[in-house]
C-alpha cells in the first residue's frame, strides 16, 4: 500500500470542534485532506520532471538525427520522396539568372538562416545554401536528369577538397603539378586558368568512373541504365563546353543569350560584390560539408504533384524543422500556364512554415516587366513571405503569374540605397 493509500484508508474518528460562528469543523478530515494534497504533489513532481526531461530528450534526439544522414537513409529518401520524372524543354546545366545574388543582402536583413531550404534547378542552389546556412536542403525538380546531375555535383564535392579541384573535376581539366592555381586562388585566377585549359580524355574517363563509384558505393544510389546514360550526357557536356556551358533550351537558337557558367561565377551583386559559392572558401566548405553529411537531397518531383513536396513537408515536420526559404525560380509561371497552380498552393499549405519563411523567385525579364527589375539583367529576383502568399491565394488575388510576382513582393536592395 502506497503512502497516499495509507492516508486515505486511515481510521477517521469524529473529533468535532466548533468555530466562533458555531460551525462544526472536522479537524482530522481537514488534516488528512491537506496531507493528501501535499503527498500527491510530492509524488507527482518526479513524473512531471521526468515527462519534461523526456520531451527535451525527444527534441534533442530529433535534432541529433538531422545532424547527418547515413548513406542508406540518403538513398532511401531519394527513392521514397520522389515521383516519376516529368518533361521540361531545357537542359538546365546551369542557371540562366543573372540576378540571383541581388536578394542575398535582403535575405540576411530578414534573418533567413538555418532551418530547411527547398530549391529547384542546378548550381544556383549552392549559393543560396552557402548564404543561408540551412541545416538541411531538398532540391525538387520535375526532371529526373536534374536529380542525376545533382548526384554528379555531390560526387564532385565528395572528391574535391577545394574550389579549384571542384572545377577541375567538373570540367575534366586536370591541374598541372606546377603553375596551376592553388587552393586559395581568387575567382579571377581560377576562371582565367580554366578558360584556357583544354579537356583531357583520360581525366574525363577516370573522373566519370570515380563519380559513378561514389554514387553507387558511397551514396548507395543504384542508377538504372537510363540514369547512367543521363549521367554520361550531363558530364560529357561539361567536358565539351567547359566554362562556356549554360542553360540550353530545346529547339532554340538562343545559346548565346543566356549566361554561361563563367559569367555566373563572376557575376557580382548589385553592389559590385562577388557572391557565388565558388567565390569564397568558407562558402564552398559549408556546401561541401552539408553534402558530406548527406543533407542536400535531390528529389524528383512536380511542384503541383501529389507526393514529393508533401513528403518533404512531412519529413521536415517530423524532425522539428521549418522552411526558411523556398527557391522556386520561375516554375510557377509554368504551373499557371498548365492550369495546375492551385495544386502547388495546396502543397505549400502542407509545408511547415513560420511568419519568416520566404519564397525566392526569379522573374524572366524577357516576358515580364517587373517593377523591381534592374537594368542589364535577364531576370528579376524577388522575395515574398510564404504566409502572405497563402493569404493572397485564399483571397483569390492571383489571376496570373505576372500578377502574382508583382503582388506583395519584397524587392532586393537597389544599389542607390547603399549610397544614401
pLDDT-based confidence at 7, cuts 50/70/90?
very low
d(CA 174, CA 200): 7
d(CA 273, CA 256): 25
Which residues are bridge partners to 364 per DSSP?
Answer: 379
Q: What percent of the chain has pLDDT over 90?
A: 74
Select the more confidently predicted residue: 363 or 249: 363
CB 303 within 8 A of CB 347: yes
The set of cell numbers assigned to 352 is 511547415
Mean pLDDT estimate for the chain: 86
| Beta strand 358-364 pairing with 379-385 | antiparallel
d(CA 374, CA 193): 31
Q: Is the pLDDT of residue 253 over 70?
A: no
pLDDT, one tens digit per residue, over 303-346 is: 999 999 999 999 999 999 999 999 999 999 999 999 999 999 99
Q: Is the pLDDT of residue 357 over 90?
A: yes
CB 120 within 8 A of CB 97: no
pLDDT, one tens digit per residue, over 148-174 is: 999 999 999 999 999 999 999 999 999
Which residues are bridge partners to 325 per DSSP?
Answer: 117, 358
- Helix or strand or coil: residue 139? strand
> What does the DSSP assignment read for 203-259?
HHHHHHHHHHHIIIIIS--PPPHHHHHHHHHHHHHHHHHGGG-B-EETT---TTTS-
Which phi and psi (to 5°) does residue 309 adopt?
A: -65, -35
pLDDT at 178: 82
pLDDT at 276: 98
pLDDT at 179: 82
CB 78 within 8 A of CB 147: yes
pLDDT-based confidence at 195, cuts 50/70/90?
very high
Burial label for 243, CB within 10 Å (0-12, 13-18, 19+), is: buried
Q: What is the DSSP-derived secondary structure letter of residue 180? A: S
- Helix or strand or coil: residue 272? coil
pLDDT, one tens digit per residue, over 30-83 is: 434 443 333 344 444 444 344 444 433 444 444 445 899 999 999 999 999 999
CB 262 within 8 A of CB 278: no
Burial label for 272, CB within 10 Å (0-12, 13-18, 19+), is: exposed
Query: What is the C-alpha end-to-end distance of the chain, expressed in Å?
Result: 79
Amino acid at each position: 500500500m502506497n503512502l497516499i493509500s495509507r492516508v486515505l484508508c486511515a481510521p477517521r474518528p469524529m473529533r468535532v470542534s466548533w468555530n466562533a460562528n458555531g460551525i462544526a469543523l472536522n479537524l482530522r478530515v481537514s488534516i488528512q485532506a491537506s496531507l493528501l494534497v501535499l503527498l500527491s504533489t510530492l509524488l507527482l513532481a518526479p513524473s512531471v520532471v521526468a515527462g519534461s526531461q523526456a520531451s527535451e530528450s525527444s527534441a534533442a534526439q530529433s535534432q541529433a538525427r538531422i545532424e547527418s544522414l547515413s548513406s542508406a537513409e540518403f538513398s532511401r529518401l531519394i527513392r521514397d520522396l520522389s515521383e516519376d520524372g516529368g518533361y521540361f524543354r531545357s537542359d538546365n546545366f546551369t542557371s540562366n539568372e543573372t540576378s540571383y545574388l541581388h536578394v542575398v543582402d535582403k535575405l540576411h536583413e530578414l534573418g533567413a538562416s538555418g532551418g530547411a531550404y527547398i530549391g529547384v534547378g542546378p548550381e544556383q542552389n549552392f549559393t543560396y545554401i552557402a548564404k543561408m546556412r540551412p541545416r538541411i536542403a531538398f532540391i525538387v525538380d520535375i526532371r529526373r536528369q536534374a536529380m542525376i546531375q545533382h548526384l554528379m555535383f555531390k560526387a564532385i564535392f565528395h572528391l574535391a577538397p577545394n574550389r579549384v579541384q571542384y572545377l577541375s573535376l567538373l570540367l575534366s581539366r586536370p591541374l598541372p603539378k606546377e603553375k596551376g592555381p592553388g587552393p586559395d586562388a581568387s575567382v579571377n585566377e581560377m576562371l582565367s586558368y580554366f578558360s584556357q585549359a583544354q579537356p583531357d580524355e583520360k581525366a574525363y574517363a577516370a573522373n566519370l568512373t570515380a563519380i559513378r563509384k561514389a554514387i553507387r558505393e558511397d551514396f548507395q544510389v543504384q542508377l538504372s541504365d537510363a540514369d547512367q546514360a543521363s549521367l554520361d550526357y550531363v558530364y560529357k557536356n561539361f567536358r565539351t563546353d567547359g566554362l562556356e556551358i549554360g542553360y540550353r533550351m530545346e529547339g532554340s537558337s538562343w545559346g548565346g543569350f543566356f549566361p554561361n557558367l563563367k559569367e555566373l561565377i563572376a557575376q557580382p551583386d548589385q553592389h559590385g560584390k562577388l557572391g557565388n559559392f565558388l567565390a569564397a572558401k568558407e562558402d564552398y566548405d559549408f556546401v561541401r560539408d552539408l553534402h558530406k553529411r548527406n543533407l542536400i537531397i535531390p528529389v524528383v518531383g512536380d511542384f503541383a504533384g501529389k507526393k514529393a513536396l508533401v513528403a518533404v513537408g512531412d519529413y521536415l515536420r517530423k524532425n522539428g524543422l521549418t522552411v526558411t526559404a523556398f527557391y522556386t525560380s520561375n516554375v510557377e509561371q509554368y504551373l499557371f500556364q498548365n492550369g495546375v497552380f492551385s495544386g502547388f498552393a495546396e502543397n505549400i499549405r502542407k509545408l511547415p512554415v513560420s511568419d519568416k519563411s520566404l519564397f525566392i523567385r526569379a522573374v524572366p525579364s524577357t516576358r515580364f516587366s517587373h517593377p523591381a527589375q534592374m537594368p542589364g539583367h535577364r531576370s528579376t529576383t524577388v522575395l515574398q513571405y510564404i504566409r502572405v502568399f497563402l493569404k493572397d491565394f485564399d483571397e483569390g488575388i492571383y489571376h496570373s503569374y505576372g500578377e502574382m510576382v508583382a503582388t506583395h513582393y519584397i524587392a532586393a536592395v537597389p544599389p542607390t540605397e547603399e549610397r544614401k
